[in-house]
Amino acid sequence: MKSLPLHACTPSISSAIINRSYSLLHFTALVALFYYRLSSFLSSKPKPSLPYLLVFASEMLLSIIWLFDQAYMWRPVSRTTFLERLPEDEELPGIDVFICTADHKKEPPLEVMNTVLSAMALDYPPDKLSVYLSDDGGSSLTFQGMREAWLFARSWLPFCRKFGIKIRCPKVYFSSLEDNYSGPLHSLEYEKEKEKIKRKYELFKERVNKAGEIIGSEEATSIKDHPPVIEVINDEPKNVAGIRQAKMPLLVYVSREKRPSHSHHFKAGALNVLLRVSGIMTNSPYILVLDCDMYCNDPTSARQAMCFHLDPKISPSLAFVQFPQKFHNINKNDIYDGQLRKIFVIRWPGIDGLQGPVLSGTGFYMKREALYGNLSEKNVVRLKQSFGHSNEFIRSIHNIYQYSAIKNTESSCKLQQEAQFLSSCTYEKNTLWGEQMGFLYHSVVEDYFTGFILHCKGKTSVFCNPSKPAFLGISTTNLNDLLVQGTRWNSGLFEVTLSKFCPFIYGLSRMPLLQTMCYGYLALQPLYFLPLWCLATLPQLCLLNGISIYPQVSSSWFMVFSFIFLASLLKHLEEILSTGASIQTLLNEQRVWMMKSVTAYTFGSLDAIVKCFGMREASFLPTNKVADDEQVALYQMGKLNFQASTMILTPIITLIILNMVSFIGGVAEMFIAGSWNETFGQVFLSLYILMVNYPVIEGMLLRKDKGRVPTPVTLLSLVITIFLLCLGHMTLRW
Ligand SMILES: O=c1ccn([C@@H]2O[C@H](COP(=O)(O)OP(=O)(O)O[C@H]3O[C@H](CO)[C@@H](O)[C@H](O)[C@H]3O)[C@@H](O)[C@H]2O)c(=O)[nH]1
Ligand SMILES: [Mn+2]
């Protein structure tokens, strides 16, 4: 009997038609623009000034990036899964869940434990589920938290199973107003047990927090310097004597060895240790990777992912099933575009119609085999050159899913020794880990790079985007964090672009053209900084010095420029409205893009260039997962928080002041000299920049609260603006 398909893929035909028509029209207009620029360049005497050429170059670069972006629009699809058609529980494959934490101050153990508990409570056979927590901080607090979490899970998991609880992250369950329970309404038994479990949760919370008070801050240096600790969490038999135990997933604490003299490769390094340690313990064929702040919001995600992995038609090439990153702390206004709407709502469903989405760090179910590279090698010596010297691990490679005897004390002692060996600093020396094996080290955005290489090897991926978010995380809610994180991402992206793995060269011969273009877009994204800096300064300085950059309003070429501007705006609007967002979102996204371009993209690109020349080591500053009340209050009001480093604020404020000056100067000139026909384009550009960035102007001139732009930054920016104006005056007027 032919079995029914486990999933369906529906192309969004109307979107594809709109997208392709728009691309064609916009492309034609761009060709006209270049014709105009080139012909006026060739025919004009004297030759146009340097700013003119730079603006031309900026327009070209913007157009190239735009062109690559169109690949995402080509064939958007959406997917559905049919959970009821999955095989029986006994036939489901094992899953190892990897959760990473790095710093107990920025990532409070209680939150991390909530993620751990939500993963343990996934709706999946418990004997096929194992949860590994990697603690790069080596914090005894986190370790203690794990023990408490295990004890609490003893009650929490049976409770969730018994009542079919829909949200299994305890913190969210207890703070949510609606009942996430699928039994008969207000059953007395349920209410009673809920009360009981609530008390247990309070106790659990208290204990985890109390451990924090006792242990305190003794561990400032140990984050970079600690021995390996691997511990299968189990309760003391005396605690549970006589109680019939519920089946529990395996829970393992892993803190790899760290020494200041060794590089640890951040999250990728941590994940590779987990790959090896889990390899000799449970060796499940599938792996779910989660950031410590991303709790499982829908317990059925594992089964959803299996609908793809178990489909014999697609599974041979399928490397991973990616769920979107979604966040629970984003307010309605989303002033920082924390949800990364364009990526997860537009681009990933788009690329899903090609070879599959880019690996996105968290919320993906990966096939273990895909990370091991070529497995046809049987020669043990050569295998050891690739995988390192652990016999146990080499054995695990070829027999996927062998549940070792962890409970047996003697073998468990041996197992632990081996696990410590696998997580030592030196294990990876002279092996292919991070080079061709596991998560790759080359870039701080290990996810993007690892996924890219998988796609280059011909693997595919799937974007699973159910209406109930499978995972929910914490997004950045202040300007500083947003831009620091953005700098890291773009530095990582650009590192790859500058390397021999540059998507245009390395990817083009290994992937279909459209998929290469999608990666090409991400590879070039950091370079947005060049055109944005140029277009935010040069037309303005030219305007103040009587040089016109755009065609006269009366000329028909002006129509071409207007068309390109309006068409992109309308397309953005169409995307926003068709995905149920508001006009405010459009403004927010444009503002965040401009702000990121002149800061995060700029610093990220420079950082990558400096790293490329070996002048700086890679770094990974984990994002803060705790916010103070003041910060939360500003965020809730939808006000930008300008309590950010001077280095990040100054470029933004300087450009705003410069545009204010040029706008006022330009308007005055229009009235006095009647030059509007020549200067309208430039005046409008300034006006547009100012309109989109009105909240910045407000923060600089009108706000009185703590989150306003600090006066010293405004003054510094003013000085730099004056300098730029003088420079423009001297170089443009002779
Ligand atoms: O040395 C490190 C640094 C970080 N992490 C963990 O990595 C995860 C992501 O770190 P976070 O500070 O939250 O960075 P984000 O920028 O929010 O993370 C995004 O970007 C990363 C790549 O830069 C991806 O790995 C993430 O999955 C993706 O969510 C967290 O669980 C950390 O605990 C480690 O385990 N070891
Ligand atoms: Mn994060």
The residue whose CA has the least distance to atom 2 of ligand 1 is 266
Is 218 within any annotated ligand binding site?
Answer: no
CB of 417 within 8 A of CB of 227?
no
CA gap 493, 502 in Å, rounded: 10
CA of 483 from ligand 1 middle (Å) equals 15
Pairing of strands 471-472, 364-367: unpaired
- Cβ proximity of 623 and 481 under 8 Å: yes
Per the CB < 8 A criterion, the answer to whether 116 and 168 are in contact is no
Q: Which two tokens stand for residue 633?
A: 């209050």
Could you tell me which of 423, 313, 318 has the C-alpha nearest to residue 364?
A: 318
Contact between residue 265 and residue 102 where contact means Cβ atoms under 8 Å apart = no
What's the distance, CA 578 to chain centroid? Answer: 23
| CA 193–ligand 1 middle distance (angstroms) | 37
- Mean pLDDT along residues 354-366: 97
Average pLDDT over residues 259-276: 95
At 217 the pLDDT is 60
Q: Of 280, 433, 462, which is closest to residue 356 (Cα–Cα)?
A: 462
What does the alpha-carbon distance between residue 575 and residue 590 come to, in Å, rounded to a whole number? 13
* Model confidence at 374: pLDDT above 80: no
For residue 54, report the distance from its CA to the centre of ligand 1, in Å. Answer: 37
pLDDT for res 58: 97
Task: Give the residues surrounding ligand 1 with Cβ less than 6 Å away.
Answer: 100-102, 107, 134, 136, 266-267, 270, 291-292, 361-362, 444-445, 447, 485, 488-489, 492, 620, 622-623
Res 236 pLDDT > 80: no
Nearest CA to ligand 1 atom 9: 291
Per-residue pLDDT band for 245 (boundaries 50, 70, 90) equals low
Question: Which pLDDT value is given to residue 510?
Answer: 96
Residue 240 main-chain phi, psi, to 5 deg: -120, 15
Instruction: Give me ligand 2 centre to Cα 464, in Å.
Output: 20
For a ligand 1 pocket test, name from 263, 291, 596 the mutation site with the most ligand atoms within 8 angstroms of its C-beta: 291
405 — pLDDT class (breaks 50, 70, 90): very low
Question: Which pLDDT value is given to residue 407?
Answer: 55
Task: Please state, for a pLDDT cut of 90, what percent of the chain lies above it.
Answer: 81
Ligand nearest to the CA of 291: 1
Residue 5 is classified by DSSP as P
- The ipTM assigned to this model is 0.99
**DSSP, res 237:** G
Q: How far is the CA of 60 from the centre of ligand 1 (A)?
A: 34
Length of the chain: 734
User: Atom 31 of ligand 1 has which residue's CA nearest to it?
Assistant: 291
User: Are 290 and 115 within 8 A, CB to CB?
Assistant: yes
pLDDT-based confidence at 210, cuts 50/70/90? Answer: confident
pLDDT over 70, % of the chain = 94
Tell me which residue has its CA closest to atom 16 in ligand 1.
485
Cα gap 586→335, rounded to integer Å: 10
Residue 11: the pLDDT is 97
> Six-digit token pair at 616?
């700086």
Task: Categorize the per-residue pLDDT at 243 as very low, low, confident or very high, splitting at 50, 70 and 90.
Answer: low
Looking from the CA of residue 473, the nearest atom of ligand 1 is 29
Tens-place pLDDT, residues 525-562: 999 999 999 999 999 999 999 999 999 999 999 999 99
Query: Mean pLDDT, to the nearest integer, of 268-295?
Result: 96
| Residue listed under structure tokens 């559905």 | 80
Ligand nearest to the CA of 340: 1
Q: Is the pLDDT reported for residue 224 higher than 90?
A: no
Q: How far apart are CA 289 and CA 321, in angstroms?
A: 11
Whether the pLDDT of residue 222 is over 80: the answer is: no
338 — phi, psi (to 5°)?
-65, -25
Closest ligand 1 atom number to CA of residue 444: 23
Question: What average pLDDT score do residues 423-443 get?
Answer: 95
Q: What share of the chain is helix, strand, coil (3-state, %, to 5)?
A: 55, 10, 35
**Does 106 show up as a binding residue in the annotation?**
yes
For the CA of 102, the closest atom of ligand 1 is 33
Nearest-atom number in ligand 1 for the CA of 476 is 17
In this structure, which residue's CA is closest to atom 15 in ligand 1?
623
Q: Which ligand is nearest to the CA of 107?
A: 1
Mean pLDDT of 438-455: 96
* Least-confidence region, from 414-423, 603-612, 615-624, 686-695: 615-624
Specify the ligand 1 atom closest to the Cα of 134.
35
Q: Say if residue 385's pLDDT is above 70.
A: yes
96 annotated as a binding-site residue: no
Give distance in angstroms: CA of 675 to centre of ligand 2: 51
Q: Chain-wide mean pLDDT for the chain?
A: 92
Q: Taking 60 as the threshold, does the pLDDT of residue 89 lie above it?
A: yes
The per-residue pLDDT for range 700-733, each reduced to its tens digit, is 999 999 999 999 999 999 999 999 999 999 998 7
Whose alpha carbon is nearest atom 13 of ligand 1? 623
Which ligand neighbours the alpha carbon of 490 most closely? 1
Say if residue 24's pLDDT is above 60. Answer: yes
Q: Over 80: is that where the pLDDT of 34 sits?
A: yes
The Å distance, Cα 41 to ligand 2 centre, comes to: 48
571 is in an annotated binding site: no
**Pick from 587, 594, 562, 593: nearest CA to 573:** 587
Q: Which atom of ligand 1 is nearest to the CA of 264?
A: 1
Residues 290 and 363: their CA atoms lie apart, in Å, by 6
Ligand 1 center to 345 CA (angstroms): 21
- Which of 103, 267, 423, when mutated, tests ligand 1's pocket best, judged by the most ligand atoms within 8 Å of its CB? 267
pLDDT range class, residue 373, cuts 50, 70, 90: confident
Q: Which residue has the higher pLDDT, 648 or 187?
A: 648
Residue 225, annotated as binding a ligand: no
pLDDT of residue 400: 54
**Confidence band, pLDDT 50/70/90 cuts, at residue 515:** very high
- Candidate of 97, 99, 100 to mutate for ligand 1, largest count of ligand atoms within 8 Å of Cβ: 100
Q: Which residue has the higher pLDDT, 346 or 627?
A: 346
Per-residue model confidence (pLDDT) at position 238: 47
Q: What is the pLDDT of residues 310-345, one digit of tens each?
A: 999 999 999 999 999 999 999 888 999 999 999 999
- Band (614; pLDDT cuts 50, 70, 90): confident
- Alpha carbons within 13 A on the beta-carbon side of 50: 7
Spatial distance between the Cα atoms of 565 and 680, rounded to a whole number of angstroms: 14
Q: Which of 274, 252, 251 is nearest to 120 (CA)?
A: 251
Average pLDDT, integer, range 352-374: 95
Nearest ligand to the C-alpha atom of residue 329: 2
Burial (CB count within 10 angstroms: exposed 0-12, middle 13-18, buried 19+), residue 504: middle
- Across the strands, what pairs with 79? 9
Enumerate the active-site residues.
136, 447
- Which residue has a Cα nearest atom 4 of ligand 1? 267
Nearest CA residue ID for atom 24, ligand 1: 361
The ligand 1 atom at the shortest distance from the C-alpha of residue 103 is: 33
Give the distance (Å) from ligand 2 centre to CA of residue 126: 27
Protein residue closest via CA to atom 8 of ligand 1: 291
User: Each residue of 126-138: pLDDT tens digit?
Assistant: 999 999 999 999 9
Residues 6+ apart with CB under 8 A from 49: 542, 547, 732
Q: By mean pLDDT, which of 217-221, 476-480, 557-561, 639-643 is the weakest? A: 217-221
